[in-house]
A and B are shown apart, each in its own frame.
Chain A
């Protein structure tokens, strides 16, 4: 692989005297999709938040080569706004140059046709997750950091995430997904986090 999108070296994180991970090296290159697995409490979310720069409570070095998109387990949707309003806001703060028609087609791509103008609080958990993932379609970043993207999604929704990731990978992007279910995507690498005593 050529230049990495994300390089992490010798990461170590401790919470309440428990070591979540140490000596952790990670490279995400162009075309890499990496599944981050591990039991509950093994530090997947903490690692993703550290990599996203949302927490500084760790040792080690993290180098990003550019901008990234992060979809946390809190989806980043305001429930009083509609999926379209949420996506419009995301596009504006991420600096994506898109028209309303393009935003609508992104929502169509995640199966939310007909729900564009429904406040998100009236949507089901799976539909809310879809609305959150629609943001990835803005394609503003080469690196995706996804925390449990498959949560609450039905089979069709999982296929949708798989397709999104496949297309992103083919376009030269990279992704790191914390997940319990396998993404069932060919050629993904797996990085397992485990409890260390």
Chain B
């Protein structure tokens, strides 16, 4: 195995494409499961006007936090199946044994996961923002922070999902492992949206999110690959 230039070996890039296409095909075969996190997001948000009261002023105040917390929770909801189904049917073993380097396969799975959870969630967020009377001027910031933040959620979540893959009921443990790690993303994301509402330039928070994304993109696939090997034992 050569480490230099591995991404350019035909087998690694072919494995990446094949893995991503496979995961997307499976996602679209089980549409109910695919819609779950999105439904959770929209329904969860629609509960707030009912619970807090429909006053635009009060809703707009909590909107940035609520929109981001729900994004966190609906990502978390979708993470459990990221590796578990493959673990159950034995395809995860095949992935670990055949894809070299393994992080390429992990990255493909996480990317496919983001395409069916984080991305649609980002695209749906203006509608959710409307329900909470978020000022229209803050919607672009909301979408941009979600676009940068949801891949971080998927990448970090992959590490937790890999660690708990061998456990029968890893869901709760996964939550305990992952939610604390999501806190900085939540603070920065919601903070950027709040800053925009207050008329402050959110560039700092957005730059931080972008930096964290870059860091996570380089670190977590290795960590998740390592965790998968441990999790399979």
Contact = CB atoms under 8 A, between A and B. Distances in A.
A79 interface: yes
Q: Which range contains the number of A residues in contact with the other chain?
A: 20 to 34
Contact of B90 (A74, A85, A92): A74
A109 interface: no
Nearest to B17: A92
Contacts of B22: 78, 81, 85, 89
B18 A74 contact: no
Given A76-B94, A89-B19, A81 B25 contact: yes
B232 interface: yes
A66 interface: no
A93 B29 contact: no
Interface residues of B, number: 27
Contact of B91 (A55, A77, A92): A77
B76 to A, nearest CB: 23
B93 A75 contact: no
A93 B105 contact: yes
Nearest to B91: A76
A80 B98 CA distance: 21
B15 interface: yes
Given A54-B232, A76-B93, A77-B89, A89 B18 contact: yes
Contacts of A95: 11, 14-15, 98
A80 B97 contact: no
Nearest to B232: A54
Contacts of A52: 93, 97
- Prevailing SS type, chain A contact patch: loop
A165 B29 CA distance: 35
Contacts of B232: 54-55
Given A76-B93, A77-B90, A93 B25 contact: no
A90 interface: yes
Nearest to A74: B90
A118 interface: no
Contacts, number: 75
Interface string B46-72: 000000000000000000000000000
Interface in A69-105: 70, 72-81, 85, 88-90, 92-95
Contacts of A79: 89
A57 interface: yes
A57 to B, nearest CB: 6
Given A81-B25, A89-B22, A95-B11, A54 B90 contact: no
B95 interface: yes
B96 A54 contact: yes
Contacts of B19: 89, 92-93
B233 A57 contact: yes
A114 interface: no
Contacts of B86: 78
Contact of A93 (B88, B94, B233): B94
A55 B233 contact: yes
A72 B22 CA distance: 20
Contacts of B204: none
Given A93-B99, A94-B98, A95-B11, A72 B93 contact: yes
A56 interface: yes
A76 B95 CA distance: 9
Task: Give the 4 A-B residue pairs with the shortest CB-CB distance, closest first.
Answer: A74-B90, A92-B18, A76-B90, A95-B11
Given A70-B94, A78-B22, 8 more contacts: A76-B90, A76-B91, A76-B93, A76-B94, A78-B89, A85-B25, A89-B19, A89-B22
Interface of A: 52-57, 68, 70, 72-81, 85, 88-90, 92-95, 119
